[in-house]
Amino acid sequence: MLKYQHIAAEIEKYIQEHALQQGDKLPVLDELMVQFGVSKSTIIKSLELLEERGVIFQVRGSGIFVRRHGRKGYISLLKNQGFTRDLDHFPITSQVLELSVRKPTREAATNLNISMEQDVYYVKRVRYIYEQTLCVEESYYNKAIVTYLNNEIVSDSIFDYIREGLGLKIGFSDSYLHVGKLEEEEAGHLGLHKGDPKLDVETIFHLANGQPFDFSRITYNYIQSQFFIQANGHGM
């Protein structure tokens, strides 16, 4: 963790510990520098990070303010690090339906920017929140990047393993959302009925160097899942 990331985490902790609410004002820049014992440029980078994450907003000439926190139990559609973290007050478990090495579908190959001859790890799992089904997920990992997976890893957070076990740096992601009706097989996995509403989220996850490493499609149980998005309005 870089220094400005560490300071950002400290400021976020400060907001939580003081139970600050939307619109509450934070100390001015100079005070924050003194309070955390770091340079002005570090504080500025920390604040930019917190603004991007939707924790604060800055008003030129007026100050730094706390931003509303997402409602509890909502899944952020912006944090591209797997949702185990959003729902960290909720117990998430996984049932692995399949883990295999295979050749990608044409769609997966295109999205991973690999040929159809290259190996991928294919993972299919149902995820549960408390004892309700949350979603069914199919993922294709480029095996040249994600070199190893086993049943124990995929029963838990695959992204934690990629970061900590493989030491890879996760970058940006592109997600595409469609609402539709459940197919029979999906409905079976989710404990719902064929034709019930569903949200499909297709995501291409990239490393920080821009290489796509994971193409996934998650089908959510519409009863159990709700989502939030915090957007910034910079210059658009």
Q: Which residue has the tokens 């009706």?
A: 181
Binding residue (CB under 8 A) for a copy of itself from 13, 40, 68, 193: 68
Residue 19 binding a copy of itself, by CB under 8 A: no
Residue 167 binding a copy of itself, by CB under 8 A: no
* In the complex, minimum distance from the CB of residue 211 to a copy of itself, in angstroms, rounded to a whole number: 9
**Is there a contact between 213 and 168 (Cβ–Cβ < 8 Å)?**
yes
Nearer to a copy of itself, 71 or 106 (CB): 71
> What is the three-class DSSP state of 52?
helix
**Is there a contact between 36 and 7 (Cβ–Cβ < 8 Å)?**
yes
**Is there a contact between 58 and 52 (Cβ–Cβ < 8 Å)?**
no
**Is there a contact between 190 and 182 (Cβ–Cβ < 8 Å)?**
yes
Nearer to a copy of itself, 2 or 34 (CB): 2
Nearer to a copy of itself, 19 or 236 (CB): 236
Binding residue (CB under 8 A) for a copy of itself from 17, 72, 167, 235: 235
**Is there a contact between 127 and 90 (Cβ–Cβ < 8 Å)?**
no
Residue 231 binding a copy of itself, by CB under 8 A: yes
Work out whether the CA dihedral 104, 146, 80, 128 comes out positive or negative: positive
Q: Which stretch in 30-38, 98-106, 134-142, 167-175 sits in contact with a copy of itself by CB under 8 A?
A: 167-175
- What count of other Cβ atoms lies within 10 Å of the Cβ of residue 17? 8
Give the interface with a copy of itself as residue ranges (CB under 8 A): 1-2, 5, 8, 22-23, 49, 52-54, 57, 59, 62, 65, 67-68, 70-71, 74, 77-81, 113, 170-181, 196-199, 204, 206, 208-210, 220, 222, 225-236
